[in-house]
A and B are shown apart, each in its own frame.
Chain A
Amino acid sequence: SQKIEQNSEALNIQEGKTATLTCNYTNYSPAYLQWYRQDPGRGPVFLLLIRENEKEKRKERLKVTFDTTLKQSLFHITASQPADSATYLCALSNYGGSQGNLIFGKGTKLSVKP
């Protein structure tokens, strides 16, 4: 089955800077990869989905890249704000392609200081 690594448990940055979070997977190349935000005591909230044939996806201040050769996705938040402080989860299908249900990384806890 798939393994996901989000290699930073915590990331602290100053307001206004760009936060970059990393997600690596080890086995099958998924057809798509998703990013979620989770606040303490709440359920994950969907942010962005990127397909294997897309190199980059943007939504407002968020940008996701997907490199199937490196088996890696990068998640960027530009002009970060204290309200962006949360845990960010990478998720992808448990098997190759689009089969199987989502499995999640452990997440990276982002703290944006004013």
Chain B
Amino acid sequence: EPEVTQTPSHQVTQMGQEVILRCVPISNHLYFYWYRQILGQKVEFLVSFYNNEISEKSEIFDDQFSVERPDGSNFTLKIRSTKLEDSAMYFCASSDGQGNSPLHFGNGTRLTVT
């Protein structure tokens, strides 16, 4: 069964550094998402992306965050200047439709900011 893949599985970075988290969504999906989960807390929506542009973003997704689909297969999340509170599990997801389509999640990148 096709799956969403994310790299790296674990990223450690120093405060103030830039990080790029990478995702390969399922190939025929059109809608892409980033969610994050701080340890022990709920999965939180960050951003959705469709037709090469952001369709919705949450309050968490401030100017330090950006997303890109640089080619036909990758979908990236960049954090420009990391803060300690950015430490979390970041999940990429894709779906073949909006509205009531299920999300297919990757297994996440654990980001640790020291």
Distance of A68 from chain B, by nearest CB (Å): 15
**Tally of A interface residues using CB under 8 Å:** 25
When C-beta atoms are compared, the residue in chain A nearest to B46 turns out to be A101
Q: Which of B11-19, B73-81, B101-109 contacts A (4 or more CB under 8 A)?
A: B101-109
Assess whether A107 is in contact with B108, with CB atoms less than 8 Å apart: no
Q: Size band of the B side of the interface?
A: 20 to 34
Assess whether B99 is in contact with A44, with CB atoms less than 8 Å apart: no
Partner-B contacts on A (CB < 8 A)? 31-32, 34, 38, 41-46, 49, 51, 89, 93-94, 98-107
Report the Cα distance A99→B56, complex, angstroms.
11
Assess whether B100 is in contact with A51, with CB atoms less than 8 Å apart: yes
User: Could you give 23 example pairs across A and B, Cβ below 8 Å?
Assistant: A31-B100, A32-B99, A32-B100, A41-B107, A41-B108, A41-B110, A43-B105, A43-B106, A43-B107, A44-B91, A44-B105, A89-B43, A98-B98, A99-B99, A101-B45, A101-B48, A102-B45, A102-B103, A104-B42, A104-B43, A104-B44, A106-B41, A106-B42
Contact with A along B33-60 (1 / 0, CB 8 A): 1010000011111001000000010000
